[in-house]
Structure 1
Amino acid sequence: MSNEHPSAAPSTTPGAGPRGPVDSSRVPRYAGPATFARLPRLDEVGRTDIAVVGVPFDSGVSYRPGARFGGNAIREASRLLRPYNPAQDASPFALAQVADAGDIAVNPFSIEEAVETVEAAAGELMASGTRLVTLGGDHTVALPLLRAAARRHGPVALLHFDAHLDTWDTYFGAEYTHGTPFRRAVEEGVLDTSALSHVGIRGPLYGRKDLDDDEKMGFGIVTAADVMRRGVDEVADQLRARIGDRPLYVSIDIDCLDPAHAPGTGTPEAGGMTSRELLEILRGLAGCNLVSADVVEVAPAYDHAEITAVAASHTAYELTTLMARQIAAGQGTGGTSAAAG
């Protein structure tokens, strides 16, 4: 797999069906290159409806580093994913062309340059209507990805799964860090402030002002305790009502999960959601206009038996399935549907 992402070029074989994963009955799951879900590379298919792309960057972290290795850890864990998703009654890789677009190579010594590189590369991939599922990397990368999404779709609704608000102003005077992307996104006007939600928030804060500032930006909060008390169906209903038919960006910091389910992350907090709760809430978003998503903050150096990477791979799979179902149904804004071809 190249360190540079290939661009999403138009299909050279109109009418051809999607090219799916390697057949595990012929090639063992542990053999061959670790693309996401053993899917083809983007340069092998020539065009794609959904691109899975890595951003190996963690220069914006405030505590434990290592998320630069998260994308490839998720890819390795995704070898076990199978082509039919019974929870959504869909075969996503048959409904739409999904391909691994490799990694966006960014400068590890300049956060500002890295942000610009990610924005430009994401914009190039999205230019033909391709949806992105980005594997991080730290949460700094959400800002340039949101910029690229908003350039194509206008201000987007945001559903943000995290233990932390990530709407702080600066760290050590730095405006671009993994704790500040959504404040910057609000300031830059790339978010639809009538449809902003955090899910999974918990843990200590610096002060009450953190919550007051967040509320002024337009965010609603569903805490991890709310998910536990109210249940996933009620939470998903609330989120769908808030999102409506707006173009939706879903950003998932894996530390929204309890450390029992995701130990391999940079800033763990006790009392989080289970992986089952996260997956069920995502499945409850069926019908939303999901245009782009990320799964970030997987730090494999702290992962035990790939617990975190496995959870992240299934999370990315559910997001991909949601997008593929939407493309096949001709809903929302996205790539050229392989099913329609």
Structure 2
Amino acid sequence: MWNEEIPSSIRKQIENEKNTLCVTPFGGLPLKKEFDGEDYCIVGIPYDTSTTRRAGCRFGPRVIRTMAPRINNKTGGGYSQDAHYMMDNLKGMDYGDLAVRKGYTEITFQLIYEGMKEILDNNVIPIVLGGDHIITYPELKAYSEKCGKPVAMIHFDSHNDTSDTPEERFYTHGSPFRRAIEDGFLDAAHSIQIGIRGYVDSHRLLYAEENGMEVITARELHKIGIEECVKRIRARIGDAPCIVTFDVDFLDPTVAPGTGTPVAGGFSAYEGYEIIRQALPGLDVKGFDIVEVTEDYDPAQITGLFAGYLVTQFLVAVSKNKKAKEEK
């Protein structure tokens, strides 16, 4: 699948685009391509060719940046809701958007992989704004190479994203984790999927479980609550290197209507934030993405607002993990 020989004409276009930063930076962070000791960087991947229902999440990075809370790169910014934790030990930047080629899946996978590899090689934590969920597949390739082994994931979604057909191996936003398991990028034995409730999903759920992933369905999560969910996440991940991937359709459509494949029966913004806040401190988290934000279906940009603030919840965990590591 991987197309390492990208045509020279496209390579030339990409090099020209690298010097064109035309986005509003997330939270007022510095917008640049050069790294200088940053702990994390925001990076957009505006690709949605792999959607199967309502397209438009290629504009997700734009609306998330627009609705993001301001982050002061000297004091780190406040801890929203609790308002007592200052992320003053972090340095961040906005890398802009990776070059993608809409409609050209193989080329885009290679471009995402190369862009992520550059960020990871500079020992910076990527915070990716998608884009549809297929982007996590080439991200996982870059993470697994950096770690020297498959990486685990904490996956928030209403779908398992392990689709397939008997006839062919396809690449859509419904298949990234089946592909990643097959290709050896994903450590399924330490991975967990949370909030699953998509219709006609029995074969996808079966594939996930048969290949070693733990699955907490939406019905189960509503019953067990936040604290038990957090315990299961932490027990499952253990000390494995992991990423967090968050599809906004984990939330109920009444909370996050701006997405391509909404499924009723989901969760509140508070529940999403609280699980992130409690589960991630102490884990070996290598990166984060939030995907499937679709502005065209987002009245008052409330889905984009959620996504921007979710990034700050992740950053608090990054800050706490850095502080704990320095105190050892």
TM-score for the superposition, normalised by structure 2: 0.87
* Residue matched to 2:252: 258
Q: Point out the more displaced range, 292-301 or 73-82.
A: 73-82
C-alpha separation between the residues in 2 aligned to 1:289 and 1:3?
A: 36
> CA offsets, 1:187-239, max 9 Å, x none?
11112222111111113115x33322221121111122222221101110111
**1:144: how far off?**
0.7
Cα pair distance change 1:3/1:57, threshold 3 Å: farther
Q: Point out the more displaced range, 63-72 or 282-291.
A: 282-291
**Amino acid of the structure 1 residue aligned with 2:58:** R
**1:65: how far off?**
0.4
Cα pair distance change 1:104/1:170, threshold 3 Å: farther
* Residue matched to 1:14: none
* Residue matched to 1:13: none
Cα pair distance change 1:158/1:88, threshold 3 Å: farther
> CA offsets, 1:22-52, max 9 Å, x none?
xxxxxxxxxxx73111111234773411011
Work out whether residues 56 and 69 of structure 1, in 8 Å CA contact, stay in contact via their aligned partners in 2. Answer: yes
Work out whether residues 137 and 298 of structure 1, in 8 Å CA contact, stay in contact via their aligned partners in 2. Answer: yes
Classify the secondary structure of the residue corresponding to 2:190: strand
C-alpha separation between the residues in 2 aligned to 1:48 and 1:4?
A: 22
1:185 aligns with 2:175: no
C-alpha separation between the residues in 2 aligned to 1:265 and 1:72?
A: 14
Classify the secondary structure of the residue corresponding to 1:95: coil
**1:81: how far off?**
6.1
C-alpha separation between the residues in 1 aligned to 2:173 and 2:287?
A: 19
**1:322: how far off?**
1.2
Work out whether residues 295 and 301 of structure 2, in 8 Å CA contact, stay in contact via their aligned partners in 1. Answer: yes
Ranked by relative contact order (alpha carbons within 8 Å, sequence separation 6 or more), the top structure is: 1
1:68 aligns with 2:58: yes
| 1:1-341 matches, cutoff 5 A | 4=17, 34-43=24-33, 46-79=36-69, 83-85=77-79, 87=82, 89-92=84-87, 94-153=88-147, 154-169=149-164, 173=168, 175-206=170-201, 208-285=202-279, 286-330=281-325
Work out whether residues 161 and 204 of structure 2, in 8 Å CA contact, stay in contact via their aligned partners in 1. Answer: no
- How many correspondences in the alignment? 304
* Residue matched to 2:8: none
Cα pair distance change 1:57/1:246, threshold 3 Å: same
C-alpha separation between the residues in 1 aligned to 2:247 and 2:221?
A: 16
C-alpha separation between the residues in 2 aligned to 1:3 and 1:195?
A: 40
Cα pair distance change 1:44/1:330, threshold 3 Å: same
| Structure 1 gap ranges (5+) | 7-32, 332-338
**1:90: how far off?**
2.9
Cα pair distance change 1:322/1:42, threshold 3 Å: farther
Identity %: 35
| Structure 2 gap ranges (5+) | 1-14
> CA offsets, 1:261-286, max 9 Å, x none?
11000000000111110100001121
**Amino acid of the structure 2 residue aligned with 1:262:** A
Work out whether residues 63 and 304 of structure 2, in 8 Å CA contact, stay in contact via their aligned partners in 1. Answer: yes
**1:79: how far off?**
3.9
C-alpha separation between the residues in 2 aligned to 1:220 and 1:5?
A: 39
Work out whether residues 69 and 300 of structure 1, in 8 Å CA contact, stay in contact via their aligned partners in 2. Answer: yes
* Residue matched to 1:10: none
**1:329: how far off?**
2.9
**1:157: how far off?**
1.1
> CA offsets, 1:255-313, max 9 Å, x none?
10000111000000000111110100001121111111100000001101011001111
Cα pair distance change 1:204/1:220, threshold 3 Å: same
**1:173: how far off?**
4.6
Cα pair distance change 1:269/1:136, threshold 3 Å: same
TM-score for the superposition, normalised by structure 1: 0.83
Classify the secondary structure of the residue corresponding to 1:266: coil
Cα pair distance change 1:270/1:259, threshold 3 Å: same
Work out whether residues 69 and 308 of structure 2, in 8 Å CA contact, stay in contact via their aligned partners in 1. Answer: no
* Residue matched to 2:12: none
